[in-house]
Amino acid sequence: MPEIVVESHPIDTVFRTDRLPHIFCPGCGIGPATHAYAQAILESGIPKDQHACVSGIGCTARVPGYMDVDSYHTTHGRSIPFALAIALVKPEMEVTVFSGDGDLFGIGGNHFIHAARRNVDINIICINNFNYGMTGGQAGPTLPLGARATTAPYGNTEPPFNLPYLAAATGAVFVARWTALHVRQLKEAMLRAMQKKGFTFIEVLSPCPVGFGSPNDIGDAIEEVWLYRERCVVNHDAYLPDLEIDLRRKDVPFVMGNFLDIEKEPFDPLAMMKNKGE
Amino acid sequence: MAAVLSRQPLDKATVSIPLGRIYIIPERCKGCRFCIDFCPRDVLVETTEMNAKGYHYPIVAEGKEDECIACQFCSILCPEFAIYTEEIVEEETAK
Ligand SMILES: Cc1ncc(C[n+]2csc(CCOP(=O)(O)OP(=O)(O)O)c2C)c(N)n1
Ligand code: SF4
Ligand code: SF4
Ligand code: SF4
Ligand SMILES: [Mg+2]
């Protein structure tokens, strides 16, 4: 049967189609991750008008602008304080922060650790493309050792953050890492995060052919995806300190999985105050 | 050299491989080739034609018309929401 040319997609119900096509470069991993998020919204059983999507600034941070849910494109690094406020004032909302590694862990790092510590009931989806994509490929807090960026032309000398380890250590109740190619596992992890009360964290290793691929001699997006695919191992029980990503050491795999899934009382200061007054 | 299978799955007679129909929105495609490279059945190829932005979108390869198994991997992977598939249901195929 030959292909049939059409004008719309069944997933369009979750998108603001008048804004499509999106601004992302060909093969950018933000697209598949957004698709997984849209699919998770559809399958979550939570009505669309009870989902909120919040971001800071960056390429990734453009995502809420395409979602047909309540969405907020906030200032650089400040997505988490906005999300926290929504979650506290409107507990019926399913609040998801969708933002980049630079936004969440560079300028916004302090918000992340304290929201995790308090176990605020929000989901964090971090597109980790190892660089500041939007502003021209600068080095960020996840750039692997030795990898090049426009501000690290001789190779990065700073040890990067190990994000799943950081999230688990600071208090998250669900922690996962997948690549942008693991769209099904990613969608399942997002669904689990939406079901859970408390602070959840999903890292998505994502190709950025422009900002990260090009200075690191990776030809195009598909080559970057193959590189991750070839080095990936899935180990849900991995020892989190071992999850560091080192591109130079071919003997060290990139470990994927749903690493942590625990129950803990979510942050609810309003309820605590009410109980005190009685 | 095709390997000859001497053993068959026990439920082979009752299980039928789904057949998929592929829908494409050419104007959304940015030619990343994800759908083409990662289709488990190698169903898709690039067109020689271009869309308005100059990208070669995917079409069904010659001879692969009945190969799509409607696994939907291309659909969920496509960064542009430019392709999806549907399983063709029994009654329809019987016609
Ligand atoms: C206060 C402030 N400082 C700096 C910037 C410039 N800036 C815009 S996006 C960005 C980094 C985004 O990186 P990341 O979060 O990794 O997103 P990506 O583009 O890689 O998806 C920076 C530094 C800004 N917009 N505002
Ligand atoms: S610069 Fe990188 S992160 Fe930004 S849209 Fe392009 S590929 Fe994606
Ligand atoms: S649905 Fe699966 S088999 Fe069919 S074209 Fe897409 S990836 Fe290939
Ligand atoms: S995955 Fe989507 S954007 Fe990429 S080539 Fe296929 S249809 Fe085009
Ligand atoms: Mg980034």
Query: pLDDT truncated to tens, each residue of chain A (278 aa)?
Result: 789 999 999 999 999 999 999 999 999 999 999 999 999 999 999 999 999 999 999 999 999 999 999 999 999 999 999 999 999 999 999 999 999 999 999 999 999 999 999 999 999 999 999 999 999 999 999 999 999 999 999 999 999 999 999 999 999 999 999 999 999 999 999 999 999 999 999 999 999 999 999 999 999 999 999 999 999 999 999 999 999 998 888 888 999 999 999 999 999 998 888 877 55
Q: Does the distance separating the beta carbons of A1 and B66 come in below 8 Å?
A: yes
Taking the C-alpha atoms of residue A178 and residue A2, their distance in angstroms, rounded to an integer, is 33
What is the extent of the structural domain holding B73? Answer: 19-88
Distance B66 CA to ligand 3 centre (A): 11
Neighbours of A249 (CB within 10 A): 12
**How far does the CA of residue A23 sit from the closest CA of chain B (Å)?**
10
Distance A271 CA to ligand 4 centre (A): 48
Question: What crossing angle do the helices spanning A163-170 and A109-118 adopt, rounded to 10°?
Answer: 40
| SS3 state at A20 | coil
Residue B86 in contact with residue B22, Cβ under 8 Å? no
Q: Does the distance separating the beta carbons of B25 and A5 come in below 8 Å?
A: yes
Amino acid at A37: Y
CATH of the domain at B25: 3.30.70.20
Domains of chain A, with CATH numbers?
24-277 (3.40.50.970)
Instruction: Give A38's contacts (C-beta < 8 A, 6+ positions apart).
Output: A11, A14, A15, A67
Neighbours of ion ligand 5 (CB under 5 A): A 100-102, 129, 133
Within a domain: B46: yes
Nearest to B31 among A8, A26, A35 (CB): A26
Interface check for A43 against chain B (CB to CB < 8 A): the answer is no
Taking the C-alpha atoms of residue A66 and residue A252, their distance in angstroms, rounded to an integer, is 37
User: β-strand A254-261 against A174-179: which pairing, if any?
Assistant: antiparallel
- By CB neighbour count within 10 A (0-12 exposed, 13-18 middle, 19+ buried), where does A113 fall? middle
Residue A128 phi/psi, 5-degree rounding, is -100, 100
Look at residue B16 in the predicted model and tell me its pLDDT: 82
Within a domain: B7: no
Look at residue A1 in the predicted model and tell me its pLDDT: 78
For chain B, list residues with pLDDT below 50: 1
Look at residue B89 in the predicted model and tell me its pLDDT: 85
- Asked if residue A32 has a cis previous peptide bond (ω within 30° of 0), the answer is no
Nearest to A9 among B21, B65, B84 (CB): B84
Instruction: Give A89's contacts (C-beta < 8 A, 6+ positions apart).
Output: none
Instruction: Report the nearest atom of ligand 4 relative to the CA of B24.
Output: 7
**ipTM score here?**
0.92
State how many domains chain B has.
1
Interface check for B30 against chain A (CB to CB < 8 A): the answer is yes
Look at residue A270 in the predicted model and tell me its pLDDT: 84
Taking the C-alpha atoms of residue A114 and residue A198, their distance in angstroms, rounded to an integer, is 13
User: β-strand A70-73 against A4-5: which pairing, if any?
Assistant: unpaired
Interface check for A78 against chain B (CB to CB < 8 A): the answer is no
Interface check for A129 against chain B (CB to CB < 8 A): the answer is no
